[in-house]
Amino acid sequence: MISDGLGRYSIGEKLRTLRRRNHMGLVELGKHTSLSAPLLSKLERGKLFPTLPTLMRIAMVYGVGLDFFFTDERKRTVLGIVRKAERVRFPERPGAEDVPYHFECLDARTNDHRLNAFLAEFQEMAPEKVKPHQHPGVEFLFVMKGCLILKIGSEEFQLEAEDAIYFDCAVQHSYRRRGSKACTGVIVTVP
């Protein structure tokens, strides 16, 4: 029977685990996938099996491949390589005139995605133009070169090349380069 064959993959459990690991509700996931919360609930409870396009929509939200749902977890290896030539550079705020930094994703598309890593190139900006942001989890930042001003809440920290900082990124924070010399760093966030 088809349901027995699909049941052994525990797709519903994997969907629920991914959603909970990312601290996301069914309604929020629905907004990202254009799927209804009741449908997503039925998929998670194993009452329905998703079509491949539906499963792909959900997989894209979490940055996993379809193989995540069909691989035996006991045989799964966590390995991903991101080649320099494959990285794509993005502004922190697409379409904005002034951007405090540009970033490139360093984390590979793996089946077991537990962190996000970025290479950031910080820009020199007037302090009043920098907009703070926040997100769940913790953040680690390592300054590779240059001088960076990191504002966390109401406190400012000046970080020089090879300095590192770890902080709660649920607190509003912002970055800006100090001086005219290039400033780059590696940012790792864990939800």
What does the pLDDT read at residue 112? 63
Q: In what order do the strands lie in the sheet with 138-145?
A: 89-91, 101-105, 116-122, 183-190, 138-145, 164-168
30 shares a domain with 102:
no
Where among 75, 99, 127 does a domain terminate?
75
181 shares a domain with 88:
yes
Beta bridge partners of 165: 141
Q: What is the residue range of 137's domain? A: 84-190
98-120 residue pLDDT tens:
888 888 888 766 656 778 889 99
159 shares a domain with 107:
yes
Return the SS3 of 76. coil
- Asked if 117 and 103 touch (Cβ cutoff 8 Å), the reply is no
Beta bridge partners of 119: 104, 186
Question: How many percent of the chain have pLDDT more than 70?
Answer: 92
48-91 residue pLDDT tens:
889 999 999 898 888 788 888 887 665 555 677 888 888 888 88
What does the pLDDT read at residue 166? 97
10 shares a domain with 40:
yes
- Asked if 185 and 116 touch (Cβ cutoff 8 Å), the reply is no
